[in-house]
Structure 1
Amino acid sequence: MLKNNTIKLFTIGFTRKSAEVFFEKLRAAGVARLIDTRLNNTSQLSGFAKQADLQYFLRQITQVDYEHQLSLAPNKDILDAYKQKKISWQDYEKSYLELLKKRSVESIFDSDKLANACLLCSEDKPHYCHRRLAAEYLRQKFESIEILHL
């Protein structure tokens, strides 16, 4: 399953993407499982990425499995503090990575579960997004991970 012992771990955000672009990116990359890392995945603002709809579309359009993994989501306190500009991005990163460590999220995953998986959140780009931080954290724990942002 793993080519050259490398685990491909993808990340994607749904904001500023049409459903067609979003699902075609997943299909073209060969994503097998989408891991939803959002704290709130039921908001009407999520459009096609609202949890129940997303599960259906993934199954019907791309045959991709869906999993909501709250252990990879920031907690409300960290998220609110950043959104309200009470903490900087650097403080957010530090707090979020400490949270992942405290949760021991690496114990939830193994190489088979991460292989060709894709971490989802809402942010368009990965630069200021917790999905990138989660992927990088997991790469530290599973050294053979290659991160690819879709």
Structure 2
Amino acid sequence: MNRLATIGYETDTQGGLIQRLKAADVELVVDVRAVASSRKAGFSKTLLGNSLKAEGVDYLHLRALGTPKPGRDAARAGRTDEMRRIFDAHLEAPEAQLALAQATDLAKEKRIALLCYEDDPNCCHRQIVANHIRATLKCEVVNL
């Protein structure tokens, strides 16, 4: 069984993030941001995906696993419990369920890392996604 990883880039550079991913033998980054653009250099979808590919790591953006705007606003304001409630409700949508199933299937086959902005996985919705995958696959989750 492959271990499931999560990673945030809040205080990292693109090069540092890629180094951490490679050190953990990650084969595929699953971007779980609703908006895969970033004010932080190197972390917008196309540039990040191309940079990962150049280093031998695949990239997939699953927008449906991103936090809706009210959840992002709650997270930015430090209202983590509110963000979790909003995201849990969002996960019940058919599109989110399909994306979660896709991420779970990928985790069966490859070493994947769920990517989002926040360094602390406990303040990020990616931990909720990881917990759902862990419950299905009975796999270990490692926060890089």
2: CA distance, partners of 1:42 / 1:82 = 17
Provide the residue aligned with 2:32 in structure 1: 37
2:112 to 93, 109, 117: 117
1:90 to 58, 70, 81: 81
Provide the residue aligned with 1:144 in structure 2: 138
2:66 to 63, 69, 73: 73
List alignment gaps of at least 5 residues for structure 1: 1-5
1:37 to partner: Cα distance:
0.8
Count of residues in Structure 1 that have an aligned counterpart in Structure 2: 139
Question: What TM-score, normalized by structure 1, do the two folds share?
Answer: 0.82
Contact 1:97 1:137 in 2 (8 A): no
**Cα distance change on mapping 1:97 and 1:25 into 2, 3 Å:** same
2: CA distance, partners of 1:83 / 1:17 = 18
Query: AA paired with 1:37?
Result: V
Question: What TM-score, normalized by structure 2, do the two folds share?
Answer: 0.85
The alignment partner of 2:121 has SS state of coil
The alignment partner of 1:7 has SS state of coil
1:57 to 51, 54, 60: 51
